[in-house]
Amino acid sequence: MSVKVISVLENILQANDQIAAENRARLDAAGVYAINLMSAPGAGKTALIEQTLRALTPQVRIGMINGDTTAASMDAERGAQAGAMAVHINTGGNCHLEAHMVRQALSALDLSTLDLLIVENVGNLVCPAGWDLGTHARVMIASVTEGDDKPYKYPSMYRAADVLILNKIDLLPYLQFNLDYYLRGVRLLKPEIQVFQVSCRTGEGISAWIDWLRECVSSKRLT
């Protein structure tokens, strides 16, 4: 009996990447800049979103897609209260958002009324890294309370990020957190990463992030 070996050489995430590319094209056509916010639970995703909405609305029209493992839409409600058009995705226990979920959520939003779309991923430091959603930038939020060894322990997340927001820097005096060691790990993984050190509680450093984001949004706007 003879058997045949078939060369496949196919990336396992290819199907997701194709849908992500379609999502991105749709956002481009509508002139909407989109970011994928990723972090461990409790790093401050929702707090950063609140700060961002406060700073940018109403000049920038913002939509939100909020991924959660349960039907509870508390985060989406916090976003809606702060003035964003929000869509909630229940991932049904899935630990990350995938491009097809975002495609569905995009259909529930009127993109022509938006300038910026914030996709809040499920709180998780591993799984969201591999899944492109079709956004223009992947923004990772880390907090100093997580410890300075995280780039070395969760390389895939730092590799995937275009922007790193290091939150809760107001707590640095109370922690054994070696900022040089942490940032060295980040740079080794992703030399071109954009880093913002902030405190969502005190507002320190937030304006640099807002300026960067505002610039990205206006570059994407249809003229």
Residues that bind another protein in the complex, under the rule CB under 8 A: 1-16, 94-96, 98, 126-127, 129-130, 152, 155-156, 159, 184-185, 187-189, 191
Instruction: Name beta bridge partners: 157.
Output: none
Q: How many CA atoms lie within 13 A of 50 on its CB side?
A: 14
Contact 141, 197 (CB under 8 A): no
- CA–CA separation, 182 and 185 (whole Å): 5
Shorter beta-carbon distance to another protein: residue 13 or 216:
13
* In the complex, minimum distance from the CB of residue 123 to another protein, in angstroms, rounded to a whole number: 14
Q: How far is the CB of 10 from another protein (least distance, A)?
A: 5
* Shortest Å, Cβ 189 to another protein: 7
Instruction: Tell me whether residue 24 or residue 184 sits nearer to another protein (CB atom).
Output: 184
CB of 40 vs another protein, minimal distance in Å: 14
**With respect to another protein, which residue has the nearer C-beta, 11 or 59?**
11
Q: Which amino acid would we find at residue 105?
A: A
Q: Are the beta carbons of 174 and 149 closer than 8 angstroms?
A: no
CA distance 40 to 125: 5
Token couple for 179: 């900022």
- The minimum distance between CB 49 and another protein, in angstroms, equals 24
CB-wise, 18 or 81, nearer to another protein?
A: 18
Residue 181 or 203 with smaller CB distance to another protein:
181
CA distances from 42 to 60, 132, 215 (A): 26, 22, 28
Cα 12 to Cα 163: distance, rounded to the nearest angstrom: 25
As a whole number of Å, the end-to-end CA separation of the chain is 65
Tell me the closest approach of the beta carbon of residue 15 to another protein, in angstroms. Answer: 6
Our CB check for another protein shows the closer of 10 and 58 to be 10
For residues 133 and 119, what is the distance between their CA atoms, to the nearest angstrom?
Answer: 9
